[in-house]
Structure 1
Amino acid sequence: MLASSSVDLDLPLNDVVIVFACSENFVPYLSVAIQSIVDNAGATRRYDIIVLTRNISPASMITLTRQTKSDNVGIGFLDVDAALGDVELPYHGHFRPETYFRLLAPSLLPNVDKAIYLDSDLIVDVDVAELYDVDVEGYPLAATRDADTIGQIDGYDATVGPYLAYELGMDDPHDYFQAGVLVMNLAELRRTVSAERFLEIATERSWRWNDQDVLNKVVNGHYRRVHMRWNYLVDWQRLRRTHIVTNAPADVRGEYAEACEKPCIVHFAGPDNRPWLYPDADRAGLFWRYAMRSPYLDELRGQLEESRASATGLAKRAQVIVLYRALMPAFDKTCPAGTRRRATLIRGYMKVGGGNL
């Protein structure tokens, strides 16, 4: 059931094309994202979903195909192994190699000129065709500014701005975009940068935010901005809005607040604080509303119960509480954003191999 190119898929690909990248382990969450698309699909549009993968099982493909079976929705699966060859993709933290697969979309979809790319850890709460219809003529892609990263630049983490400017080479780090939701001008990307070049940049070093950095390096601020409603980053650990984004300029804070009030896409970005493990996470109720109609509901419920009842799950919860509800707020209080003390400690932490704060 795995195809090597979109040309081999039995899909019309003549209207709204949506691309995901996913592993077998992430299929239940992908299923919920797909359910949200199907539930909000317009009756007069055609929606074709393409999943980039290298290990989704035939059984999972069958389940997802049955889930999307309707007159105006289809799904297909593309194998990325041939495109990757023997390339070893560097990743770290909560990221996984699949995050790089979006870089291969222009070459894997040679007969498609425009597509939406979506991470699998999100919910689309409106008709996604509205996003697809954004005009990207003259741009490689459309995306939202990354309120979290901009908040880090402007005080929360003083190492981020210099990294984006001097290591990533961005003219203006405040143009950094969040790559979990993209409208990709595949024709323009094919014209300007090859898959080989994308992979060359991706593997030349370990980038802080992996392929998101690669895309920002290539695009360097030349993208069509869309409102953050189309990629609302949830209030991770109830810290993102009050501790990180609050450092950003007024226009970024205002746009993020508007997105929070009326999001079109809710993105559960960040480590640990996922709704399938923490039902009190920001917008977890929305996730479970769509999960109720997913064929993976029982599996999702089982994961939630295990996280709340097993020894491993309880230990993880205790670790999260200590780190994010105690240590990080204490660090923010003793080393306020923008202070020299904070910058010095973060630089020291990074030098000894620490991850992102």
Structure 2
Amino acid sequence: MSTSTLPSSMPDTVSGPPAGQAPVAVMFAVTSAWTMCLAVTLHSLASHSSPHRSYELWVVHDGLEKEHMQGLQNAVSGYPNVALQFMTIPGKLEQMLHDRDVRRFSALAYARLLAPSLFPRHARMVYLDADTVLYADAAELYDADLHGAPLGAIRDTAVLSSLVAGYPRRQLRKLQPLGLHDPFHYFNSGVLVLDLGRMREEDAESRLIRFIEEHNEALEHPDQDALNIVFHRQISPLPIEWNYHFQFELEKDGLEEAIAGTEFAGVSGIHALRAWKLFHMIGAKKPWLFPEKSEEYIMSAAVWWKPAMETAALQPHLSQLLAEFTQWTRRQLRHNQWHLPFSFGKSFRKRRVRINLLKRLLRIFEEA
């Protein structure tokens, strides 16, 4: 696969329907294991909501306990303009997934594909993964001008990085014969703006389901891959501030040239100024899981723990979790500091790096 520059994007501003025309509709899809991080997402969304707009938040689930639903309701309490509603996984989704291998993903990942029929009275909807934190008003995302496209999304930076490096991911090689003719257009499906009316007109839901039924074995990221094939070159690129999830490697050869004139230009400034509007904690190293001595974990922890501790409904549980994480970090720090004088060469340098990471992590936990 040859490397080429990214096609030009739309302007990096979000504009669209005038405020107040319709409720800001946002969809989530979770199992019970994700309710804690979803509570943080919901609270961050509510706390940045405009008092001049109404917000209709939907949680599609596979059978949440009442206590989980009440905890999520508590996360948005105090915001009368924010309504939280629940919907169980529809029978058609269960039937579609019967005996289907979805690998490490929950079957609920497919729920976003069914949004046009799940929400028939909505003309537009935002979909968000549960491992996101908002730092701006979701109405800005909901109002995005899609320029006639059926959906808005942000291109996948891990894919971009692999293409520029000349080592395209195996996933891309498998998708190209299925219709991904230009992998530079491959997008992340964790943040979407869906024009449900346009999707209904194009019978997108049936096309998506049919594609999954025919090509399930070839899809490493089932819902995301299906969306990328069915809507290839039909997405409206959104500003990357609305799906920020990486430390961009501008020093990589060819990358800076490849992103010129696209929505990725200037991304290093977003990180330096913490100017993201939505932070997406992709990958396995989630900040609410047991701490790790890695740069990726520390960056996510620095973003997540402060808004998490501001979510009143979670404070008792998170305070205990934070105490456990802090104690573990202190023990690790003491252990490495004690062994440092007895380390030499490469081992000494590695231990110093580990100590610096642990000090940063400890500051995050102590300041949360």
The equivalent residue for 1:67 is 75
The 8 Å contact of residues 151 and 235 in structure 2, kept in 1 or not, is answered as yes
Whether the 8 Å CA contact 1:165–1:173 is kept in 2: the answer is: yes
Long gaps (5+) in structure 1 = 1-11, 315-357
Structure 1 residue 68: Cα displacement: 1.9
Equivalent position of 2:196 in the other structure: 186
The letter for the 2-side match of 1:285 is: A
CA contact (8 A) 2:165 2:253 kept: no
- Are the aligned partners of 1:277 and 1:304 in contact in 2 as well (CA < 8 Å)? no
Q: 1:173 to 1:48 in 2, by over 3 A?
A: same
Q: Distance in 1 between the 2:320 and 2:74 partners?
A: 22
Aligned partner (choices 39, 42, 58) of residue 34 of structure 1: 42
Instruction: Specify the alignment match of 1:281 in structure 2.
Output: 298
When normalised by structure 2's length, the TM-score is 0.72
Deviation at 1:193, TM superposition (A): 2.5
Structure 1 contact 177–216 (Cα < 8 Å) conserved: yes
Q: Secondary structure at the match of 1:254?
A: coil
- Asked whether 1:265 is paired with 2:278, we answer yes
Separation in 2, partners of 1:214, 1:233:
22
Percent of aligned positions that are identical: 25
Q: Deviations over 1:95-129 (max 9, x none)?
A: 32222211111110000000111000010101111
**1:80 positional shift:** 1.7
Letter in 2 for 1:222: Q
Contact 2:286–2:300 (Cα < 8 Å) also in 1: no
Q: Residue 250 of structure 1 corresponds to which residue in structure 2?
A: 259
Which of 115, 120, 125 in structure 1 is aligned with 2:135?
125
Cα pair 2:129 2:190 within 8 Å, conserved: yes
Asked which structure has the greater CA Rg, the reply is 2
1:55 deviates by 2.0
Q: Measure the CA separation in 2 of the matches of 1:33 and 1:246.
A: 35
Aligned pair count reads 295
Provide the aligned C-alpha RMSD in A.
2.9
Distance 1:276 1:173 in 2: 33
Instruction: Give, in whole Å, the separation in 2 of the partners of 1:92 and 1:63.
Output: 29
The SS at the match of 2:189 is strand
Structure 1 position 136, deviation (Å): 2.4
Measured in 2, the distance between the counterparts of 1:197 and 1:233 equals 29
Q: Give the letter aligned to residue 189 of structure 1.
A: M
Q: Conserved in 1, the CA contact under 8 Å of 2:125 and 2:193? A: yes
> Which residue of 2 is the match for residue 80 of structure 1?
89
**Pairing 1:1-357 to 2, within 5 Å after superposition:** 14-69=22-77, 70-88=79-97, 89-93=100-104, 95-155=105-165, 157-158=167-168, 159-167=170-178, 169-204=179-214, 205-206=216-217, 207-235=219-247, 241=249, 247=255, 249-251=258-260, 254-260=265-271, 261=273, 262-274=275-287, 276-278=289-291, 280-294=297-311, 295-303=313-321
CA distance in 2, matches of 1:105, 1:246: 38
Q: Output one character per residue of 1:236-266: Cα deviation in whole Å (capped at 9) or x when no partner.
A: xxxx647989857233663432442411100
Partners of 2:135 and 2:233 in 1: how far apart?
A: 28
1:210–1:246: structure 2 CA closer, same or farther, 3 Å change rule? farther
Are the equivalent residues in 2 in contact too, given 1:140–1:223 (CA < 8 A)?
Answer: yes
Partners of 1:264 and 1:135 in 2: how far apart? 17
Distance in 1 between the 2:186 and 2:269 partners?
19
The 2-side partners of 1:104 and 1:175 are apart by 22
Q: Secondary structure at the match of 1:20?
A: strand
CA contact (8 A) 1:147 1:245 kept: no
Distance 1:84 1:36 in 2: 29
Kindly indicate whether the alpha-carbon contact (under 8 Å) linking 1:275 and 1:281 is maintained by their aligned counterparts in 2.
no
Contact 2:154 2:237 in 1 (8 A): yes
Deviation by residue 1:153-197 (Cα, 9 ceiling, x = unmatched): 232643354333224x12311011111111110111112135343
Distance 1:135 1:31, change over 3 A: same
Structure 1 residue matching 2:298: 3-state secondary structure: coil
Unaligned regions of 5+ residues in structure 2, if any? 1-19, 333-368
Cα distance, 1:138 vs structure 2: 1.7
2:161 maps to a residue whose letter is G
Over 3 Å counting, the alpha-carbon distance change for 1:36 and 1:189 in structure 2 is same
Q: Distance in 1 between the 2:233 and 2:188 partners?
A: 12
